[in-house]
């Protein structure tokens, strides 16, 4: 599939790399203690894979690279090398089965829980909040990690410990590191005129130490808003201008899709608009630009990986 003249990477099948696991967006392979993470152009929302957005995998990988490098002083991460624009070579760590979501503003599923009178992951937010309002302080709302096609489920911190999902020591470190990462990014993004609404982190354990894994502060895992649009638009009852995946979720909700049933068809012109949205957002979030590599992606990825491993 292509949009705007750029071919999309929908999936890979490199048996020569090792055993393969397909996530919602990434294909991963394990080889000699390393995990090869290939960010495809698959687009997921409400835990469903819906279509592809050409170039999206490159943008996600380059954003993760930027933030992994910026946050090494807070916590070590699994990244080893990036031999292709959409490929990360990482240490094969034991991933914790809990996603740590940090929220600085109320939006998305937290807002939907709030108006329904439900706590989010056991966290009861103050009364009288409005959608998109900044919280008194960032809160941690964990979710379980479920298989592809299943909804990740909210879980409270006490249940994480009581069920033995992770040990109290590991959970406390995951929680504190997540808050530190969120604080660092929030301050940097504010200097660029952006508000950091929320994000999710995934952690793993390597040789007994907790490390940051998967991705960090990307458009698929985070919500970023333009500060200059925030006060005026929210005061008028409108959403702030968003640089993340939330506009896609809202488009789907307007079509009556929230994860159940048959999703609507996403037209090619909208997929092309999404590619431009990802490229623009990358520049605003990182303060740098990225030119999407327009070579046929499957052949390029395979060639670069064979070169990296000397095959």
pLDDT at 200 (0 to 100): 96
User: Where do the CATH 3.30.470.20 domains begin and end in the chain?
Assistant: 95-235
**What whole-number distance in Å separates Cα of residue 138 and Cα of residue 308?**
41
What's the CATH code, domain 95-235?
3.30.470.20
pLDDT at 284 (0 to 100): 96
**CATH second-level architecture of 2-94+274-309?**
2-Layer Sandwich (3.30)
User: Where do the CATH 3.30.200.20 domains begin and end in the chain?
Assistant: 2-94+274-309
- Tell me if 203 sits within 8 A of 215, measured CB to CB: no
pLDDT digits 0-9 by tens, 73-113: 999 999 999 999 999 999 999 999 999 999 999 998 999 99
End-to-end CA distance of the chain: 28
Which H helix or E strand runs over 248?
helix 246-254
- Give the count of beta carbons closer than 10 Å to the beta carbon of residue 284: 14
Handedness of CA 132, 138, 139, 141 (dihedral sign): positive
- Give the count of beta carbons closer than 10 Å to the beta carbon of residue 145: 16
**What whole-number distance in Å separates Cα of residue 233 and Cα of residue 165?**
41
What's the pTM value of the predicted model, to 2 decimals?
Answer: 0.91
Q: How far does CA 38 lie from the centroid of its chain?
A: 14
Q: What is the mean pLDDT of each run of 10 residues along the chain (311 residues)?
A: 74 94 94 95 90 96 98 98 98 95 95 95 95 96 72 88 95 98 98 97 95 95 94 86 84 90 92 93 95 96 97 91
**What whole-number distance in Å separates Cα of residue 190 and Cα of residue 179?**
16
Sequence-separated (6 or more) residues with CB below 8 Å from residue 7: 1, 54, 294, 296, 297
């Amino acid at each position: 599939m292509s949009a705007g003249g750029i071919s999309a990477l929908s999936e890979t099948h490199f048996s020569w790399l090792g055993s393969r696991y397909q996530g919602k967006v990434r294909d991963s392979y394990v080889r000699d203690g390393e995990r090869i993470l290939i960010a495809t152009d698959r687009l997921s929302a409400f835990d469903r894979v819906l279509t592809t957005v050409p170039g999206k995998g490159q943008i996600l990988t380059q954003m993760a690279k930027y933030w992994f490098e910026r946050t090494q002083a807070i916590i070590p991460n699994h990244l080893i090398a990036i031999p292709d624009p959409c490929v990360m070579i990482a240490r094969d760590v034991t991933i914790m089965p809990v996603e740590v979501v940090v929220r600085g503003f109320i939006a998305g599923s937290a807002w939907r829980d709030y108006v329904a009178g439900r706590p989010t992951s056991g966290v009861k937010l103050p009364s009288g909040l409005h959608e998109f309002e900044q919280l008194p302080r960032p809160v941690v709302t964990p979710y379980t990690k479920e298989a592809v096609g299943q909804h990740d489920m909210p879980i409270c911190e006490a249940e994480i410990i009581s069920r033995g999902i992770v040990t109290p020591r590991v959970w406390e470190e995951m929680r504190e590191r997540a808050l530190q990462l969120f604080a660092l990014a929030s301050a940097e993004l504010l200097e660029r005129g952006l508000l950091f609404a929320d994000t999710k982190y995934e952690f793993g354990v390597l040789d007994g130490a907790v490390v940051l894994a998967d991705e960090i502060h990307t458009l698929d895992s985070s919500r970023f808003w333009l500060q200059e649009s925030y006060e005026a638009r929210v005061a008028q009852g409108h959403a702030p201008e968003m640089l993340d995946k939330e506009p896609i979720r809202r488009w789907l909700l307007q079509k009556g899709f929230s994860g159940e049933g048959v999703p609507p068809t996403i037209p090619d012109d909208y997929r092309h608009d999404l590619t431009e949205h990802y490229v623009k957002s990358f520049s605003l979030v990182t303060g740098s630009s990225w030119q999407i590599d327009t070579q046929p992606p499957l052949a390029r990825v395979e060639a670069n990986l064979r070169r990296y491993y000397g095959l």
